[in-house]
Chains A and B, each alone.
Chain A
Amino acid sequence: MSIFEYNGSALVAMVGKNCFAIASDRRLGVQLQTIATDFQRISKIHDRLFLGLSGLATDAQTLYQRLVFRHKLYQLREERDMKPETFANLVSAILYEKRFGPYFCQPVIAGLGDEDKPFICTMDSIGAKELAKDFVVAGTASESLYGACESMFKEDMEPEELFETVSQALLSSVDRDCLSGWGGHVYVVTPTEVKERILKGRMD
């Protein structure tokens, strides 16, 4: 079994009208065994920037700690939050540092940039960035997620419709993947508020 599939994960980020949604599954497993059904894959870097880390959970935790450290230092020096584009470059650089002994993670970055323009991107485990205007996916359920998002996505969705779309795409994709699932965690971020919701899906 691949090291990327050791813990199991599913992540998706989608762009709407002046907002974005980022969602993940909640399963933490060790190959075939489920350890926990409340694992947090998405973390807040600041009010307008969220990071999701799929792949090996230990590397996701280490990488998250390193990135929070770097962002806090940036905040102290620059006296402001990092822009999403800048943060994506930072993640990419940190991943490539370990080119010949990488972190086994695939990050998904979603944020609101200048003028509240939503920004999403993903990258592979050595930092190759993939910017997208509509949606990005990562994790063991990524192939199903590509299909589900491609068919359900529409341009310029309002936050409520975006939440429905992301939730349906996530739940239907993780249902076809035995290593991810056990519910969902969805963040819908607009310039004024962050709405966090927990989805109840098939608990298997």
Chain B
Amino acid sequence: MSPVVSGAPKIEFRDVSHSFALGGGEFAALDRVNLDIADGEFVTVVGPSGCGKSTLMNVAAGLLEPDAGEVLVDGEPVHGPSPQRGVIFQQYALFPWMSVRKNVEFGLKIAGVGAAERRRRAERFIDMVGLTDFADALPKTLSGGMKQRCAIARAYAVDPTILLMDEPFGALDALTRVQLQDRLLDTWSRERRTVLFITHDVDEAVYLANRVIVMAARPGRVHRVIDVDLPYPRTEEIRLSPEFAELRREVWHSVYHQPTPMERTSS
């Protein structure tokens, strides 16, 4: 069940570079990144801390305007965020003063969906992530995993064609993480939204993806692209298979044995 990599890419990074001011000089968080992501593809990005993964995602989300290059979505350059590109943050980013239901309805309300329809749709996604009994609970009463499920429901509710996820399961315990991975794959294989999923967990990167992008740091750039030719649905069997182990070793190797950073701090 490999994705059909044909036609125009869904997301295209074209020579995307971005620097942050750093003590009088500049720090290259992204250096001429080129990357095509096909429609319906599940791509994961791994790399050492500080290699520009979040920066890459923020550029794709339209939250950050790159210094050079551009990101195209469906052939159109990205300027500013759009509900078409749903974003899941590691810190959940739920509105703490709103109940689960109100959080999920937020995007629908902005889109001008009427109250009754809003409620109906929110309910569907709250059911989908298994938070029905907590629909009127405040975020502070939820566990980390439940918070992230709520954030996922909130993103799905506005029906994005792309999901951008920045280490969404990074703060969760191992068991919860695996459960959420399986749910995510389950939904993805039914709906085939394009997913750009950032993680620092090599296992997670391989388990989820059609393709793993390994980034290198200083300057942040695409180091290697590794195809994952494992069938979906991914199961525990696959997780324990020799093919999985081999791929994991390969990704692990390219993450942890990277070329020495070429310092590019100019001033």
User: Does A associate with B in a complex?
Assistant: no
